[in-house]
């Protein structure tokens, strides 16, 4: 059978880490610190990780889900 994303366990482990670090639990609670263009630093990190998430999922879709052209009508 042609490979599907489910066949690559380590990629999923990677995704779990991306999701884990997309949530700002590692910043000291309550602190505001720097605000740049309306977002505090912790929010910029969350935004960055959201982009990483989308890019990672796009990668999984396009590179790991192989479609056999002959199978398609």
Partner 1 sequence: MDQQLTFGGWNGITILVIYGLMMLGIGYAVYRKNRKAHDSMEDYYLGGRNLGLLVLFFTLFATQYSGNTIIGYAPTAYRMGYAWFMSVPYMIIIIGGYLLFAPRLYKLSKKHKFITPTDFLKHRFQSKGVTIFATLLMIYGVGNYILAQFVAIGQGVAGLTGGTIPYQIAVVFFVVIMLIYGWLGGMRSVAYTDLMQGILLLIGVALLVIGAILTWGGLPSAADYIKAYEPEKIGVPSSDLIKTWFSMLILVGFGATMYPHAIQRIYTAKNQTTLKKSLGRMAWMPFITTGLVFIVGLIGIKAYPGLDDATSEQLVGLMANGIAGISPLFYWAMIILFGGIVAAIVSTADSALLTFSSMVSQDIYGNFISPDASEKKKLIVGKVTGVFAAIVLLLLAWYPPGTLFQIFVLKFEVLIQLAPAFIIGLYWRRLSSGPVLIGMIVGAAIAGVMTWTGHKTFLGFYSGIWGLLLNICICIIGSYLVAFTAEAKKKVDNLLSA
- Contact positions vs partner 1 (CB under 8 A): 1, 4-6, 15, 19, 22-25, 27-32, 35, 37-40, 42-43, 46-47, 49-50, 53-54, 57-58, 60-62, 65, 67, 71-73
Helix, strand or coil, per DSSP, at residue 48: helix
Least gap, CB of 39 to partner 1 (angstroms): 7
Least gap, CB of 8 to partner 1 (angstroms): 10
CB neighbour burial string for 52-62, b if at least 16 within 10 angstroms, e if fewer: eeeebeeebee
Backbone angles phi, psi at 30, to 5 degrees: 80, -15
């Amino acid at each position: 059978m042609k490979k599907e994303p489910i066949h690559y366990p380590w990629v999923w482990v990677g995704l779990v880490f991306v999701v884990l670090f997309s949530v700002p639990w590692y910043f000291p609670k309550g602190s505001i610190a720097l605000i740049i263009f309306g977002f505090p630093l912790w929010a910029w990190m969350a935004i960055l990780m959201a982009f990483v998430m989308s890019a990672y999922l796009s990668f999984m879709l396009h590179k790991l889900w192989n479609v056999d052209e002959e199978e398609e009508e």
